[in-house]
Amino acid sequence: MNRDALSSSAKGLARVAARDTSASPPHDKRAADVAGLRAQFPILSRNMRGQPLVYLDNASTTQKPQRVIDAEAQLYETLNANVHRGVYELSEQATEAYVAAHEAVARFINARSAEEIVFVRNATEAINLVASSWGVEHLKRGDQILLTAMEHHSNIVPWQEVARRTGAELRWVECTADGRLDLDDLHSKLTDRVRLVAVTHVSNVLGTVNPIAEIIREAHQVGARVLVDAAQSISRLPIDVQAFDADFLVFSGHKMYGPTGIGVLFGRRELLEAMPPYIRGGDMVKTVTREQATWNDLPWKFEAGTPNIAGGVALEETIRFLSEIGMERLWAHEQALVAHALPRLRNVPGLTVLGPQARVGIFSFTMNSIHSHDLASFLDERGIAVRGGHHCAQPLLTSLGLTECARASVGLYNTAEDLNRLVSALEEAHRLLR
């Protein structure tokens, strides 16, 4: 993916913002494509509460296509051996598959090489790695870490700890009233005291897409490094770390139709090389004496102990799956769902939808004084899975004057019909629960 793809995404967002909001549902051909994709996800054929499952909790975790489930099982059936260790054929094959998975991730996000791709458990672990290694090494009293008001707890709590340990100060970029990042606030707070900007690409509550390339450009002008939390964007948008000029970028396999227990840290090579290891032990060393050790090459320096080999190999299959569909096509499908859902949700009596007009398919809402857990339970009785609560974004909810809200979030297999069922159930909730 290149700059053009990214700027066409941005144009797509602008078009959505400008579009007549009563836009019709995805046309027949696209709906037929989605039917074919849905059929690949076995869990979607389940009934829930006696009705076909409508799974709208994709921002929490996505479902897995059969081929990804098979890839994980196949590793154990045909290729299971520890990596980097054996000199026997089976171990070499397992190592090759595991290395190939890193290479596939590097191609998917356009990293310069697989040395810039570290496999971890999830986005949270990737951020902790950067915070504990880069953060503690580089930050000191007087420095500032700039976060945004829309960060997930995963991109807040590790930095609070770094601030506590180093004496660096946390500062916050606020949101506008309609749920976008306040870029004026960002400009005013981006001084040469800022050493790191930690920012989410897509808000897991508001659905906002932040202008990452622009934020990184400005941060670099004051000499700050930028960590991009791509947990919500990796499954929805083309990601190009070179076009972004990103320093660090993190995501989780399970939010992109891949397995749980595998996640990715992308780090610019020279940064990773200069960073101390995060976890120490086997595999991340070159030599060990009784007194000391020397570190292995990238990325293995950061992958101590036996890694999640099966998860890594299944993540490669996930990437193959997404690449065959094409991220532009996924983006178009999701934007069609947004155009279909947003005006209908906004018409539900008593419902307030949070976040801006231009967004991804993440819809957080409140309904009068009904608690989001009651609303989610009401929808669950109708076979519709949504999440209620604070969505691990308590500082954001506090700044919105809320403690909780409900959230429906789409995936590549959701249809206009799924969203119609959500809207009808919410209309019913308004009649019955208020």
Residues that bind ligand PLP (CB under 6 A): 59, 122-124, 152, 154-155, 200, 204, 229, 231-232, 252, 392
State how beta strands 51-52 and 117-120 pair.
unpaired
Tell me whether residue 124 or residue 308 sits nearer to ligand PLP (CB atom): 124
CA 376, distance to chain mean position in Å, is 23
Six-digit token string for 190: 């981006």
Q: Please report how close the Cβ of residue 392 comes to ligand PLP at its closest, in angstroms.
A: 6
Contact 171, 147 (CB under 8 A): yes
CB of 122 to ligand PLP, least distance (A): 3
Cα–Cα distances in angstroms (integers) from residue 375 to residues 11, 359, 419, in the given order = 35, 23, 16
Contact 277, 301 (CB under 8 A): yes
- Which residue lies nearer to ligand PLP by CB, 97 or 256? 256
Active site residue 392: yes
Residue placing its CB nearer to ligand PLP in the complex, 376 or 425: 376
> Of 48, 136, 170, 392, which is the active-site residue?
392
Single-letter residue type at 348: V
Specify the residue, 114 or 209, whose C-beta has the smaller distance to ligand PLP: 209
Read off the tokens for 236.
């929805």
Q: Do residues 234 and 126 touch, judged by C-beta distance below 8 A? A: no
Min CB(125)–ligand PLP separation in Å: 7
Residue 420: CB atoms within 10 A of its CB come to: 15
Show the tokens assigned to 121.
Answer: 């458990």
We find the least distance from the C-beta atom of residue 45 to ligand PLP, in angstroms, to be 26
Q: Write down how long the chain is.
A: 434
CB of 271 to ligand PLP, least distance (A): 20
Nearer to ligand PLP, 271 or 392 (CB): 392
Q: Is the bond preceding 299 in cis, omega lying within 30 degrees of 0?
A: yes
- SS3 of 282-295: the string is CCCEEEECCCCEEE
Looking at the annotation, which residues are catalytic? 392
